[in-house]
């Protein structure tokens, strides 16, 4: 699926985050038990294009664009931290009338999932974390630099997209297909979007994961991790496995940070097996 087709299948809802009414775009398909997917920085829900549609035969799959990302609200003037994204998810779950969800989170979305599962244990039956930010594993230097006003003020839209394209191409395990790169770049196509990217980057706050005690997570937990990741090394998954009671760690070989894009079939198979066992 290309980005245009993905965007055409998105719906929108208005969610209150810190008293800001923000538009949230999300992919929603299927009629089974709900599974919510949350992406990270600097991506969008399109990251899940090879995983989410293939699960819709058995589950209701919901993949929002975090606020400040994708086709969700991008204007300047609201919080985009994972604490705020947790509030967005809570509002969207409420808007959709869901009592419980299985939560799949990647990168920053994994940090959101950790917080949500810790703070709302009755709402999360199953938790899947993939190359997720946790403890003090983040932010990485590239993202910190992007968040500096002095950096972004000197960048044109083309400059920023060139930087992002290099990141996506260089950090995939294999050469990425054109649809992946084009889809990852598609939302970052305006001055407003580039400012939003910078605000997203400056909102990366280590305290929002160090304040969470993973040992308090009650959900069945799968750590589905690309083993070649340099951003969020698998040692952090091993630490989570030690701290979360009963957690299962599955390392996906020949996969880097973008594990669901590097090895979509293996990723989906492991995820479906875990969800089916809930």
pLDDT of residue 48: 98
Residue 59 belongs to a domain:
yes
| Overall average pLDDT of the 48-72 stretch | 98
> Using 50, 70 and 90 to split pLDDT, how confident is the model at 116?
very high
DSSP notation for 111-155: HHHHHHHHH-TTTEEEEEEEEE--TT----HHHHHHT-HHHHTT-
Residue 156 belongs to a domain:
no
* Three-state secondary structure call for residue 221: strand
The answer to whether residue 278 scores a pLDDT higher than 80 is: no
Whole-angstrom Cα distance, residue 153 to residue 199? 12
Q: How many domains does the chain have?
A: 1
SS (H, E, C) 55-111: HCCCEEEEEECCCCCCCCCCCCCCCCCHHHHHHHHHHHHHHCCCCCEEEEEEEHHHH
Token readout for 60 is 């209701």
Distant-in-sequence, close-in-space partners of 277: CB < 8 Å, separation ≥ 6: none
Structural domain for 260, as ranges: 3-138+206-276
Token readout for 195 is 């400012």
Residue 145 belongs to a domain:
no
Distances (CA, A) of 61 to 38, 120, 209, 239, 276: 11, 20, 26, 29, 14
Residue 183 belongs to a domain:
no
Residue 251 belongs to a domain:
yes
Global confidence as pTM: 0.97
Tens of pLDDT, residues 213-263: 999 999 999 999 999 999 999 999 999 999 999 999 999 999 999 999 999
pLDDT of residue 170: 93
Q: Are 66 and 92 in contact (CB under 8 A)?
A: no
Tens of pLDDT, residues 133-178: 999 999 999 999 999 999 999 899 999 999 999 999 999 999 999 9
For residue 120, the domain's CATH number is 3.40.50.1820
Residue 28 belongs to a domain:
yes
Phi, psi of 38 (to 5 degrees): -130, 125
Phi, psi of 276 (to 5 degrees): -65, -25
Residue 219 belongs to a domain:
yes
């Amino acid at each position: 699926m290309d980005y245009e087709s993905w965007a055409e299948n998105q719906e929108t809802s208005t969610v209150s985050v810190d008293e800001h009414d923000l538009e949230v775009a999300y992919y929603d398909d299927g009629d089974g038990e709900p599974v919510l997917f949350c992406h990270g920085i600097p991506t969008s829900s399109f990251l899940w294009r090879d995983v989410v549609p293939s699960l819709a035969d058995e589950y209701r799959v919901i993949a929002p664009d975090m606020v400040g990302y994708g086709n969700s609200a991008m204007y300047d003037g609201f919080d985009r931290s994972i604490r705020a994204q947790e509030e967005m998810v809570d509002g969207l779950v409420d808007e959709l009338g869901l009592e419980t969800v299985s939560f799949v989170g990647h990168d920053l979305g994994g940090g959101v999932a950790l917080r949500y599962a810790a703070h709302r244990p009755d709402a999360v039956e199953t938790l899947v974390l993939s190359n997720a930010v946790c403890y003090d594993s983040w932010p990485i230097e590239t993202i910190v630099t992007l968040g500096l006003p002095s950096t972004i003020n000197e960048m044109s839209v083309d400059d920023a997209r060139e930087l992002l394209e290099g990141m996506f191409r260089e950090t995939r395990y294999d050469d990425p297909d054109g649809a992946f790169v084009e889809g990852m770049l598609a939302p970052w196509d305006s001055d407003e979007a580039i400012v939003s990217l910078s605000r997203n980057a400056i909102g990366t706050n280590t305290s929002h994961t160090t304040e969470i005690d993973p040992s308090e997570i009650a959900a069945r937990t799968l750590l589905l991790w690309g083993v070649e990741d340099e951003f969020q090394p698998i040692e952090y998954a091993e630490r989570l496995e030690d701290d979360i009671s009963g957690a299962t760690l599955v390392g996906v070989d020949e996969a880097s940070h973008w594990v669901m894009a590097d090895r979509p079939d293996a990723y989906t198979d492991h995820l479906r097996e875990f969800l089916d066992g809930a």
